[in-house]
Amino acid sequence: MNVMLLAAGEGTRLRPYTLTLPKPAIPFLTVPLAAHSLSFLRGNKIEKLVVNTFHLPQKIHELFHNLPLQSQSLHFSNEVGEILGSGGGLGKAREHFLGGGDFVMMNADEVILPKDALILKKALEHHHKSGALATLMVMDHPDVGTHFGGVWADSNNNVLGFGKTPTPGSHKGWHFVGVQILSERVFDYIPSSGASNILYDALTVAIQKGEQVQAFPFECAWFETGNPKDFIEATQKCLRHLSEDANSFQKEALVHTLNDFASEAAKIQKKDSGYWMISESAKIEDSVLCEGILVVGQGASVGQNCLLKNVIVAPGIAIPANTEAADSLFL
């Protein structure tokens, strides 16, 4: 199969950190967020991986050239002057997908821990059998219709519409986790130029013209990482899975990702007030005090008498002695 990863976004809600690194390159549990998206694709033969860029494009190029990829080839679709969105970005990259059959498109910064490690393969099989234009991977979430817009579907999981307001005739609103399987026919509905949204500007039009779009519910843990508060909370939850769970699917998925993408092992410790994840080559002075989480990447260091609370240190970064910081990422 062929895959498109959406990596062009500016990550505005995660500023100022995304002024330094594009969001897919920001470390989550010592590996880039993009590694967690790639991990979701594990077990599927990828012929062509296409990554679109706009914000800090050179750093996106460097990121994917340095990650251990499962694909036979890597291609970039560089957007210049205007960010094109999920629809326009795919439209610009269409030459990579025409003639290649159904393909997968997903965000390059998702942390999705599936209960069934083969769920993407099963979703692909369902998509092929249904003949649908698009199959959207979704989960049950209590905030659909309030905090999140929903994928509104009938009792047979045929998608009727999108948004916070239920579509008339819908049976349930699902939360879209950012992974979709698309038929080449989707290019018939993507506007020929300019920015567009795949859901609202392409699939909505297709549904109105009688095309079938399917929701594919599955059980998973999905984490919001779009702003600093949610990023730190997601890190804390995942560290809890790694530290305290015995044989949970969440821990199994995280361990697979770290084994595949971490350049070195890290020690995870439960502390009185949280969790520490320290890479083998990182250096932490004994006088360091930290409340909540502390994640320190490969080759990073934390100097004497630092007073920290919920801090993430990227690989190779040195935190000077006597630093006081809370709810912060050092990139």
pLDDT in tens, 137-174: 999 999 998 888 999 999 999 999 999 999 999 999 99
pLDDT, average across residues 307-325 = 97
- Identify the CA nearest to 1 among candidates 135, 154, 197: 135
Work out the average pLDDT over 14-33.
96
Q: Please check whether residue 321 is in contact with residue 306, taking contact to mean a CB–CB distance below 8 angstroms.
A: yes
Alpha-helical (H) ranges within 5-157 are 33-40, 57-66, 85-92, 119-130
Q: How far apart are CA 163 and CA 214, in angstroms?
A: 16
Q: Specify which residues 86 forms β-bridges with.
A: none
Q: So what's the pLDDT on residue 147?
A: 86
> Is the per-residue pLDDT at 13 higher than 80?
yes
- Report domain extents, the chain: 2-223, 228-330
Please give the single-letter amino acid code of residue 134. Answer: A
- Residue 237, number of CB atoms within 10 A of its CB: 14
Q: How far is CA 149 from CA 63, 144, 156, in A?
A: 31, 6, 20
Cβ atoms of residues 182 and 105 within 8 Å: yes
Q: So what's the pLDDT on residue 302?
A: 97
Residue 10: the pLDDT is 94
What are the tens digits of pLDDT across the range 89-141?
A: 999 999 999 999 999 999 999 999 999 999 999 999 999 999 999 999 999 99
CATH number of 2-223: 3.90.550.10
Secondary structure (DSSP) of 144-213: BTTTB-EEEE-TT-BEEEEESSPPTT-SEEEEEEEEEEE-GGGGGTS-SSS---IIIIIIHHHHHTT--E
pLDDT number for residue 121: 96
